[in-house]
Amino acid sequence: MTPTELAALHEAYASDPHAFWLDQARRLDWERFPERSGDFSFDRADFHIRWYEDGVLNLSVNCLDRHLPQRADDTALVFEPDEPGAGRSVTYAELYADTCRFAHLLKERGVGKGDRVMIYMPMIPEAAAAMLACARIGAVHSVVFGGFSPESLAGRIDDCGARVVITADEGVRGGKRIPLKANVDAACDLSQGIDTVIVVTRTGGDIAMREGRDLRWEDHQDRLANDCPAEPMAAEDPLFILYTSGSTGKPKGVVHTTGGYAVWAATTFAWVFEPKPDDLFWCTADIGWITGHSYTLYGPLMAGTPTVMFDGVPTYPDASRLWETIDRLGVTILYTAPTAIRALMREGDEPVRKHNRQSLRLLGTVGEPINPEAWRWYHDVVGDGRLAIVDTWWQTETGGVLMTPLPGATSMKPGSACQPLPGIEPLLVDAEGREITGNDVSGNLCLRGSWPGQMRTVWGDPQRFIDTYFTTYPGLYFTGDGCRRDEDGDYWITGRVDDVINVSGHRIGTAEVESALVAHPLVAEAAVVAAPHDLKGQGIHAFVTLNAGEQGGDHIVRELHAEVRKHIGALAIPERIQFAPGLPKTRSGKIMRRILRKIAEGQLDQLGDTSTLADPGVVDALVRNR
């Protein structure tokens, strides 16, 4: 984007927000174009968020049907499996046909508008078709990342009341098989109400099939019609639920609705990546995360930009996987996470340099703050110093990117998300909720007003939505992030200020890990904090107190790992488990996490005043056992 184009967008928003937001909606095909744009109030008494309320559309039409007249045989998706080069391309016509077939199968099983469907799948083209099929018939999809345990999947099934799960026999990642169908079976035993499991064959591995409940996709695919009318959806009809960790309790079902989400995914994809006709876009995020929803699938599909679905890991079979794949497929835009960049940086420049990467024209990063060293390596080595980097800050809750430098219009700074997109109004507030004005300041990051991609509610718990995001600072959306605005007015996200840990770009709630740990019969108490980690950004440091008379040791550590794997998934296993005779508490019994954080960070000279603790002696013991 040129500076003039960007200035014109800011000016258009400032002079007439309503016209500005309707203009963005013109990127989509609507059955009925909206006359209304945003209508929202963050006041408790009259809380509501609505966008394009009178509009009618279908997202699958915007991803598929709109491309069929001119480009039916063009590539929509490039499937790149774990084994390099063993993939295939899928055209818009093919993806359309599979989407319609899935839609029919779901309908045959009684799924209709508003019903919830769980998707627990590898990154295969059928997963895209399954999501699009839900959108086509107005069912609400809830994708659960394949790394989550059966128990996590069961919790989500119960929370949203799904009746159907779509899965695969097994996943394959980094050469290892993941027993997806077996996990679904276990989840069904732990939850209520699943009457249909649709299984796509990925590996052909041995799986159990339950008569009457389980269907093989391949047994039905050929008999199902490859055409299916799209359900006309009101803009505010729910599109999907995505569960994400918060600072308290169980994961929240973040609800996104059809019109606003689609407009924001399409608009941000257009602004940030400026797609060109010969692009091949590669976002490495799994569809189990919001990045996979907005930028692996929906954003590029709406734009008609072919998108890579990568079912592997960046380090398999070796550290040049990404660069080899980029050359082989001709990828033009790479959008990945700082944790992957750091892992590959550690392998040195040679695995990168032996591939030419000439097809690349833009790099992107998302998910956590990128340290300047990793940014420079990404820029200088991966990008040969010739490519811009979009460091995009956003959240599951925001639906799409909110802050990023825009190539051509914004100058980049290593580690800074720089500036808000047009229509987005960030502000920093202090602990008392007063706005901090001026530059060269730090505070808690809030947003004033709404934007189309904002989440609408927490599934089944609207009060929790208000309490979590709109109560700390009344009238504002609180992001949970700390942030600095530098002397030029550019924003630097400093990380979460709540009890959420960002491990390799994945959000883990401390409360969830703690409750998994205390599920072990020998554990009396557990407290979990973040500790800096070279590759993961943050690692999980758990302080665990065992029942009186019990001794910690490797054996218990292994059992505690198993406990976390069972209740949440391997992604939440603590980096470090430190056994402690007691935890630092105030006299009223509150655990002083601030002290635990400093111990985990090794900042032992910054423990602060410990004299108010019920038993100051426990701190010495914790420091001694570090």
Write down the least CB distance from residue 255 to ligand PRX, Å.
Answer: 14
Q: Interface mask (CB under 6 A) for ligand PRX, residues 163-192, using x and -?
A: ------------------------------
How many Å apart are CA 282 and CA 334, to the nearest integer?
A: 5
Within a 10 A sphere around the Cβ of 237, how many other Cβ atoms? 18
Q: Which is nearer to ligand PRX, 106 or 341 (CB)?
A: 341
| 85 annotated ligand-binding residue | no
Q: Interface residues for ligand PRX in 274-293 (CB under 6 A)?
A: 290-291
Contact between 448 and 486 under an 8 Å Cβ cutoff? The reply is: no
Q: Is 490 in the site for ligand PRX (CB under 6 A)?
A: no
Residue 236 and residue 55 in contact, taking contact as beta carbons nearer than 8 Å: no
Work out whether 493 is an interface residue with ligand PRX (CB under 6 A): yes
Scanning 519-606, the segments in alpha helix (DSSP H) are 554-567, 593-601
Let me know how long the chain is: 626
The Cα 487–Cα 293 span in angstroms is: 35
Interface pick for ligand PRX out of 37, 502, 538, 545 (rule CB under 6 A): 502
Which of 320, 454 has the CB closer to ligand PRX? 454
Q: Decide whether 179 or 495 has the Cβ nearer to ligand PRX.
A: 495
Applying CB under 6 A, the span of 130-138, 156-164, 229-237, 391-399 interacting with ligand PRX comes to 391-399
Pick out residues in 17-56 that bind ligand PRX (CB under 6 A).
none
Q: How far apart are CA 143 and CA 287, in angstroms?
A: 7
Interacting residue with ligand PRX among 243, 264, 271, 393 (CB under 6 A): 393
Q: Binder to ligand PRX among 104, 156, 507, 541 (CB under 6 A)?
A: 507
Please identify which residue in 394, 465, 473, 579 interacts with ligand PRX, judged by CB under 6 A: 394
244 part of the interface to ligand PRX, by CB under 6 A: yes
Q: Which positions from 333 to 372 touch ligand PRX by CB under 6 A, shown as an x/- string?
A: ---------------------------------xxxx---
Q: How far apart are CA 145 and CA 123, in angstroms?
A: 10
CA-to-CA distance for 235 and 256, rounded, in angstroms? 10
- Tell whether residue 147 is a contact of ligand PRX (CB under 6 A): no
Cβ 593 to ligand PRX shortest distance, Å: 18
Check the annotation: does 291 bind a ligand.
yes
Q: Identify which range of 33-41, 167-175, 273-281, 390-398 contacts ligand PRX by CB under 6 A.
A: 390-398
What part of residues 106-125 is at the interface with ligand PRX (CB under 6 A)?
Answer: none
Give me the least distance between CB of 495 and ligand PRX, in Å please.
6
Q: Is 448 annotated as a binding residue?
A: no
Nearer to ligand PRX, 182 or 427 (CB): 427
User: Total number of residues binding ligand PRX (CB under 6 A)?
Assistant: 22
143, β-bridge pairs? 119
Encoded tokens for 600 = 């985990």
How far is Cα 281 from Cα 277, in angstroms, rounded to an integer? 11
CA distances from 158 to 116, 190, 193, 570 (A): 11, 9, 8, 21
Q: What is the DSSP string of 207-272?
A: ----TTTEEEHHHHGGGS-S--PPPPEETTSEEEEEEE--SSSSPEEEEEEHHHHHHHHHHHHHHH
Write the CA distances from 316 to 83, 197, 563, 586, integer angstroms. Answer: 8, 31, 28, 48
Please identify which residue in 136, 156, 379, 496 interacts with ligand PRX, judged by CB under 6 A.
496
Residue nearest to ligand PRX (CB): 396
- Give residue 215's identity as a one-letter amino acid code: L
523 is in an annotated binding site: yes
Selected range binding ligand PRX among 55-63, 74-82, 202-210, 477-485, rule: CB under 6 A = 477-485
The response to whether 510 counts as a known ligand-binding position is no
Instruction: Sort 418 into a burial class: Cβ within 10 Å, 0-12 / 13-18 / 19+.
Output: buried
Of the residues 60, 320, 396, 504, which one makes contact with ligand PRX according to CB under 6 A: 396
Please identify, using beta-carbon distances, which residue of 135 and 501 lies nearer to ligand PRX.
501
CA–CA separation, 562 vs 560, rounded Å? 5
Contact (Cβ atoms closer than 8 angstroms) between residue 59 and residue 262: yes
Query: Is 394 annotated as belonging to a binding site?
Result: yes
Return the residue of 89, 201, 226, 395 that touches ligand PRX, per CB under 6 A: 395
**Residue 565 marked ligand-binding:** yes
Decide if residue 481 touches ligand PRX (CB under 6 A).
yes
Spatial distance between the Cα atoms of 478 and 453, rounded to a whole number of angstroms: 15
CA 291/CA 309 separation, integer angstroms: 12
Residue among 92 and 394 whose Cβ is closer to ligand PRX = 394
Q: State how beta strands 38-41 and 500-503 pair.
A: unpaired
Residue 480, sorted as left (phi over 0), alpha (psi -120 to 50) or beta, turns out to be: left
Contact between 417 and ligand PRX by CB under 6 A: the answer reads yes
Which residues are 459's β-sheet partners?
A: none
Among 392, 454, 468, 510, binds ligand PRX (CB under 6 A): 392
| Interaction of residue 315 with ligand PRX, rule CB under 6 A | no
Q: State the binding site for ATP.
A: 367-369, 391-396, 481, 496, 507
Residues forming contacts to ligand PRX in the complex (CB under 6 A) are 244, 290-291, 366-369, 391-396, 417, 479-481, 493, 495-496, 502, 507
